[in-house]
Amino acid sequence: MNEDTYKIGDVVTLKSHPLAFQPNGEIDAYVNQIPPFMCIKEIHIEKKKILFSKEKEDAKIADYVKYLCTYFNQHRMIFEEKYVYHDFLIPLKDIVFHNNDEKLQDNHVILSEETSKYSIAKYKFGERVFFKTYKLEKRKKFKTAGHDRNSTTKTTMTHTSPAFVLSGFKPNDQKNIYNQKDGKIQRECSKELYKITWYNAYQEKFSEEYLPAEFLTDDLRIYQSIKNGIVPLSKDKS
Protein backbone atom coordinates (compact mmCIF):
# COMPACT_ATOMS: atom_id res chain seq x y z
CA MET A 1 0.00 0.00 0.00
CA ASN A 2 1.04 3.61 -0.45
CA GLU A 3 2.69 5.41 2.47
CA ASP A 4 -0.20 7.88 2.61
CA THR A 5 -2.80 5.10 2.94
CA TYR A 6 -4.61 5.30 6.26
CA LYS A 7 -4.41 2.44 8.76
CA ILE A 8 -7.13 0.49 10.55
CA GLY A 9 -8.39 2.62 13.46
CA ASP A 10 -7.11 5.95 12.08
CA VAL A 11 -9.44 8.90 12.64
CA VAL A 12 -10.39 10.82 9.49
CA THR A 13 -13.12 13.12 8.24
CA LEU A 14 -14.30 14.58 4.95
CA LYS A 15 -12.31 17.45 3.44
CA SER A 16 -15.51 19.50 3.71
CA HIS A 17 -15.32 19.54 7.53
CA PRO A 18 -15.29 23.21 8.70
CA LEU A 19 -12.27 22.62 10.94
CA ALA A 20 -10.27 21.76 7.81
CA PHE A 21 -10.55 25.26 6.34
CA GLN A 22 -12.21 27.78 8.69
CA PRO A 23 -9.72 29.99 10.59
CA ASN A 24 -8.82 29.62 14.28
CA GLY A 25 -10.70 26.37 14.65
CA GLU A 26 -14.05 28.06 15.24
CA ILE A 27 -16.96 26.63 13.28
CA ASP A 28 -19.23 28.99 11.40
CA ALA A 29 -21.84 26.62 9.96
CA TYR A 30 -25.12 24.90 10.72
CA VAL A 31 -24.35 22.19 13.27
CA ASN A 32 -26.33 19.62 11.27
CA GLN A 33 -24.07 20.21 8.24
CA ILE A 34 -20.87 19.12 9.96
CA PRO A 35 -19.58 15.69 8.85
CA PRO A 36 -18.51 13.26 11.57
CA PHE A 37 -15.07 12.15 12.63
CA MET A 38 -14.77 8.53 11.52
CA CYS A 39 -12.54 5.53 12.18
CA ILE A 40 -11.13 3.40 9.37
CA LYS A 41 -12.65 -0.10 9.62
CA GLU A 42 -11.45 -1.70 6.38
CA ILE A 43 -9.03 -0.76 3.58
CA HIS A 44 -9.86 -1.77 0.01
CA ILE A 45 -7.35 -1.60 -2.86
CA GLU A 46 -8.93 -1.94 -6.30
CA LYS A 47 -6.71 -2.30 -9.38
CA LYS A 48 -9.27 -2.99 -12.11
CA LYS A 49 -11.33 0.14 -12.02
CA ILE A 50 -12.32 2.95 -14.38
CA LEU A 51 -10.81 6.09 -12.84
CA PHE A 52 -11.66 8.67 -15.49
CA SER A 53 -14.82 9.69 -17.26
CA LYS A 54 -15.34 8.55 -20.85
CA GLU A 55 -17.15 11.81 -21.57
CA LYS A 56 -14.43 14.23 -20.43
CA GLU A 57 -10.67 13.81 -20.62
CA ASP A 58 -8.79 13.98 -17.29
CA ALA A 59 -12.07 14.06 -15.31
CA LYS A 60 -11.40 11.67 -12.43
CA ILE A 61 -14.51 9.88 -11.13
CA ALA A 62 -13.10 7.18 -8.82
CA ASP A 63 -10.05 6.06 -6.86
CA TYR A 64 -8.10 2.83 -6.41
CA VAL A 65 -8.20 3.13 -2.62
CA LYS A 66 -11.38 3.32 -0.58
CA TYR A 67 -12.18 2.76 3.08
CA LEU A 68 -15.07 1.43 5.07
CA CYS A 69 -15.48 4.22 7.64
CA THR A 70 -17.43 4.03 10.91
CA TYR A 71 -18.99 6.90 12.84
CA PHE A 72 -21.54 7.31 15.62
CA ASN A 73 -25.00 8.58 14.72
CA GLN A 74 -25.88 10.61 17.80
CA HIS A 75 -29.55 10.98 16.86
CA ARG A 76 -30.25 7.29 16.31
CA MET A 77 -27.67 6.23 18.92
CA ILE A 78 -26.07 3.65 16.62
CA PHE A 79 -22.90 3.22 14.58
CA GLU A 80 -23.09 3.86 10.84
CA GLU A 81 -20.74 2.76 8.05
CA LYS A 82 -19.89 4.20 4.65
CA TYR A 83 -17.37 3.43 1.91
CA VAL A 84 -15.36 6.58 1.17
CA TYR A 85 -12.64 7.19 -1.43
CA HIS A 86 -9.16 8.15 -0.25
CA ASP A 87 -9.33 11.47 -2.11
CA PHE A 88 -12.39 12.54 -0.10
CA LEU A 89 -10.69 12.29 3.28
CA ILE A 90 -8.40 14.43 5.39
CA PRO A 91 -6.21 13.16 8.25
CA LEU A 92 -6.71 14.32 11.81
CA LYS A 93 -3.36 16.15 11.81
CA ASP A 94 -4.76 18.64 9.27
CA ILE A 95 -7.71 19.58 11.51
CA VAL A 96 -7.44 22.74 13.65
CA PHE A 97 -9.25 23.00 16.98
CA HIS A 98 -9.79 26.38 18.65
CA ASN A 99 -7.74 27.17 21.75
CA ASN A 100 -8.57 30.04 24.11
CA ASP A 101 -4.90 30.59 24.97
CA GLU A 102 -3.04 32.70 22.44
CA LYS A 103 0.29 31.34 23.68
CA LEU A 104 0.41 27.65 24.46
CA GLN A 105 2.52 26.16 27.24
CA ASP A 106 5.67 24.30 26.25
CA ASN A 107 4.21 20.99 27.40
CA HIS A 108 0.90 21.53 25.61
CA VAL A 109 -0.23 18.56 23.51
CA ILE A 110 -2.68 19.36 20.73
CA LEU A 111 -5.75 17.15 20.55
CA SER A 112 -4.87 15.53 17.22
CA GLU A 113 -1.52 14.36 18.61
CA GLU A 114 -3.13 13.15 21.82
CA THR A 115 -5.75 11.17 19.91
CA SER A 116 -3.14 9.51 17.70
CA LYS A 117 -1.38 8.20 20.82
CA TYR A 118 -4.41 6.74 22.59
CA SER A 119 -3.73 3.17 23.62
CA ILE A 120 -6.04 0.41 22.40
CA ALA A 121 -8.14 -0.86 25.29
CA LYS A 122 -7.16 -4.31 26.49
CA TYR A 123 -10.17 -6.58 26.58
CA LYS A 124 -11.67 -7.04 30.04
CA PHE A 125 -15.29 -8.01 30.51
CA GLY A 126 -17.28 -5.15 32.07
CA GLU A 127 -14.56 -2.52 31.49
CA ARG A 128 -15.59 1.02 30.46
CA VAL A 129 -14.24 2.16 27.08
CA PHE A 130 -14.73 5.04 24.62
CA PHE A 131 -14.92 5.39 20.85
CA LYS A 132 -11.75 7.24 19.78
CA THR A 133 -13.69 10.22 18.39
CA TYR A 134 -15.42 10.94 21.74
CA LYS A 135 -13.24 13.88 22.79
CA LEU A 136 -12.89 15.23 19.25
CA GLU A 137 -16.63 15.62 18.84
CA LYS A 138 -17.06 17.25 22.27
CA ARG A 139 -14.11 19.60 21.64
CA LYS A 140 -15.72 21.47 18.72
CA LYS A 141 -16.19 25.21 19.26
CA PHE A 142 -18.48 27.51 17.31
CA LYS A 143 -18.13 31.10 16.17
CA THR A 144 -21.83 30.89 15.34
CA ALA A 145 -23.99 27.81 15.82
CA GLY A 146 -27.26 27.65 13.96
CA HIS A 147 -29.68 24.85 13.20
CA ASP A 148 -31.34 24.15 9.89
CA ARG A 149 -35.10 24.51 10.44
CA ASN A 150 -35.67 21.01 9.05
CA SER A 151 -33.05 19.41 11.28
CA THR A 152 -33.79 17.19 14.27
CA THR A 153 -30.46 18.27 15.80
CA LYS A 154 -31.04 20.45 18.86
CA THR A 155 -27.52 20.51 20.31
CA THR A 156 -24.08 21.67 19.21
CA MET A 157 -22.67 18.27 20.22
CA THR A 158 -23.03 16.23 17.05
CA HIS A 159 -21.84 12.65 16.48
CA THR A 160 -20.78 12.40 20.12
CA SER A 161 -20.84 8.84 21.41
CA PRO A 162 -21.53 7.70 24.99
CA ALA A 163 -19.25 5.59 27.16
CA PHE A 164 -19.48 1.86 26.48
CA VAL A 165 -19.04 -1.36 28.45
CA LEU A 166 -17.05 -4.28 27.05
CA SER A 167 -19.32 -7.30 26.82
CA GLY A 168 -17.78 -9.75 24.35
CA PHE A 169 -14.82 -10.68 22.17
CA LYS A 170 -14.29 -12.62 18.95
CA PRO A 171 -11.81 -12.92 16.06
CA ASN A 172 -12.96 -11.08 12.96
CA ASP A 173 -14.66 -13.34 10.41
CA GLN A 174 -13.63 -10.86 7.71
CA LYS A 175 -10.06 -11.73 6.75
CA ASN A 176 -7.39 -9.90 4.79
CA ILE A 177 -7.46 -10.65 1.06
CA TYR A 178 -4.30 -10.71 -1.07
CA ASN A 179 -3.80 -10.71 -4.83
CA GLN A 180 -2.98 -14.28 -5.89
CA LYS A 181 -0.52 -13.10 -8.54
CA ASP A 182 1.62 -10.51 -6.76
CA GLY A 183 0.69 -11.07 -3.12
CA LYS A 184 -0.29 -7.45 -2.58
CA ILE A 185 -3.14 -6.74 -0.21
CA GLN A 186 -6.58 -6.02 -1.64
CA ARG A 187 -8.58 -5.84 1.57
CA GLU A 188 -7.26 -5.23 5.08
CA CYS A 189 -9.38 -5.77 8.18
CA SER A 190 -8.97 -5.75 11.93
CA LYS A 191 -8.06 -9.08 13.51
CA GLU A 192 -9.97 -8.69 16.79
CA LEU A 193 -13.47 -7.42 17.51
CA TYR A 194 -14.79 -6.23 20.87
CA LYS A 195 -18.50 -6.29 21.65
CA ILE A 196 -19.71 -3.17 23.42
CA THR A 197 -22.98 -2.43 25.20
CA TRP A 198 -24.67 0.95 25.70
CA TYR A 199 -28.07 2.41 26.49
CA ASN A 200 -29.85 3.50 23.31
CA ALA A 201 -32.17 6.33 24.35
CA TYR A 202 -33.61 6.66 20.83
CA GLN A 203 -34.96 3.10 20.89
CA GLU A 204 -35.23 2.98 24.69
CA LYS A 205 -33.27 -0.24 24.95
CA PHE A 206 -29.73 -1.53 25.35
CA SER A 207 -27.76 -1.86 22.11
CA GLU A 208 -24.74 -4.03 21.28
CA GLU A 209 -22.20 -3.90 18.49
CA TYR A 210 -18.95 -5.63 17.54
CA LEU A 211 -16.23 -3.10 16.63
CA PRO A 212 -12.52 -3.39 15.78
CA ALA A 213 -10.34 -3.26 18.89
CA GLU A 214 -8.50 -0.32 17.27
CA PHE A 215 -11.62 1.86 17.66
CA LEU A 216 -11.76 1.69 21.44
CA THR A 217 -9.64 3.22 24.19
CA ASP A 218 -9.64 3.47 27.95
CA ASP A 219 -6.99 6.21 28.01
CA LEU A 220 -7.76 8.57 30.91
CA ARG A 221 -6.99 11.65 28.81
CA ILE A 222 -10.10 11.12 26.73
CA TYR A 223 -12.30 12.33 29.59
CA GLN A 224 -9.98 13.91 32.16
CA SER A 225 -8.86 17.54 31.93
CA ILE A 226 -5.25 18.64 32.12
CA LYS A 227 -4.55 20.02 35.58
CA ASN A 228 -1.50 22.11 36.51
CA GLY A 229 0.07 21.31 33.16
CA ILE A 230 0.03 17.57 33.88
CA VAL A 231 -1.47 15.21 31.32
CA PRO A 232 -2.95 12.05 32.94
CA LEU A 233 -1.28 8.86 31.78
CA SER A 234 -3.05 5.72 30.61
CA LYS A 235 -4.22 3.31 33.26
CA ASP A 236 -1.64 0.70 34.18
CA LYS A 237 -3.16 -2.68 33.46
CA SER A 238 -0.18 -4.68 34.69
Say if CB 28 and CB 56 are below 8 A apart. Answer: no
Would residue 41 be called left, alpha or beta, if left means φ above 0 and alpha means ψ between -120 and 50 degrees?
alpha
Distance of CA 221 to the CA centre of its chain: 17
Residue 35: phi, psi to the nearest 5?
-70, 155
Say if CB 166 and CB 121 are below 8 A apart. Answer: yes
109 pLDDT band, cuts 50/70/90, is: confident
The total number of residues shown for the chain amounts to 238
Q: What is the mean pLDDT of residues 13-36?
A: 90
Structure-model confidence comparison of residues 51 and 151, the more confident one = 51
pLDDT in tens, 172-224: 999 999 988 889 999 999 999 999 999 999 999 999 999 999 999 999 999 88
Q: Which of 172, 177, 208 is nearest to 192 (CA)?
A: 172
Say if CB 205 and CB 194 are below 8 A apart. Answer: no
pLDDT, residue 164, reads 98
Checking DSSP bridges between strand 185-189 and strand 11-14, what pairing results, if any? unpaired
